[in-house]
Amino acid sequence: MNIQQNLKHILDSIPKTVTLVAVSKTKPNSDIMEAYNTGQRDFGENKIQDMVDKADALPKDIRWHMIGHVQRNKVKYMAEFVHLIHGVDSLKLLKEINKQAKKYARTIDCLLQIKIAEEDSKFGMTDSEAKNILQSDMFSAFENVRVVGVMGMATFTDDENQVKTEFKRLKTIFEDLKSICTKNCNLETISMGMSGDYPIAIESGSNMIRVGSSIFGTRNY
Ligand SMILES: *Cc1c(COP(=O)(O)O)cnc(C)c1O
């Protein structure tokens, strides 16, 4: 198990147009630096406090991706530096991100998390909820937030056909949303695919994958 080899293996097997977010949650800074030293700059965390601590300690040219569920009262801790928030699932949350981004005179890029998996446990909104947000007057009035794409997670199953169907649905939803978005949005990113399913995700139209255990090994919680 070697982080640098794992990274190289994955990067060699995916198209150059696909961004690899190395999911470093629960992993120490030394692991992140190993990946960093091969040139990796996009890292994903699912807890805001962990991301803040790591961002403080590590090189400033790392692009930090918040891939977990975001509580509104914690947005303020990451507003100064976060590169992309993947798990946006409500207009209320966008409103808070807009407010906090304004304090730093930034525009924060976000992905709308869409629920594509059958299982109940996954966060995210329906395609019509996403449409309503992009077409709402409140969203149009925001000045410090921008929706740049969608994020989704497939059902955790061995049934590849089901996974593919779910990913293709997200791709279709992405195209629909792209066609209706006018203000504060520029839809170009489809964040889907993890260690177990990223090849299927890329086949289905993903251009951003979030890979953890295939790079850093299994997580110990
Ligand atoms: C942990 C996590 C990943 C990475 O999972 P692996 O199976 O380790 O690649 C991707 N996306 C989200 C939202 C995660 O929480």
How do the domains of the chain map onto residue ranges? 3-212
Enter the tokens of residue 29.
């800074």
Best probe residue, ligand 1, of 210, 211, 213 (max atoms within 8 Å of C-beta)? 210
27 lines ligand 1 (CB under 6 A): no
* 9 conformational bin, left if phi > 0, alpha if psi -120 to 50, beta if neither: alpha
pTM of the model: 0.97
CB distance 213 to ligand 1 below 6 Å: yes
Q: Answer for the pair 85, 97: CB distance below 8 angstroms, yes or no.
A: yes
Predicted local distance difference test score (pLDDT) of residue 219: 83
CA 106 – CA 213 distance, rounded (Å): 32
pLDDT at 120: 67
Residues with pLDDT less than 70, the chain: 1, 120-122, 221
8 Å CB contact between 204 and 17: no
Angstrom distance (rounded) from CA 59 to CA 34: 12
Cα of 135 vs centre of ligand 1, distance in Å, is 30
Atom of ligand 1 at shortest range from CA of 25: 1
Buried b (16+ CB within 10 A) or exposed e, 124-146: bbebeebbebbeeeebeebebbb
Neighbours of 53 (CB within 10 A): 13
Which DSSP state fits 90?
Answer: -
Distance CA 66, CA 47 (A): 8
133-188 pLDDT, tens digit per residue, is: 999 999 999 999 999 999 999 999 999 999 999 999 999 999 999 999 889 999 99
The answer, yes or no, to whether any atom of ligand 1 lies below 6 A from the CB of 97, is no
In the CATH scheme, what architecture does the domain 3-212 have? Alpha-Beta Barrel (3.20)
Ligand 1: centre distance to CA 210 (Å)? 6
**Which atom, in ligand 1's list, is nearest to the CA of 198?**
9
Which residues on neighbouring strands pair with residue 108, listed in sequence order?
145
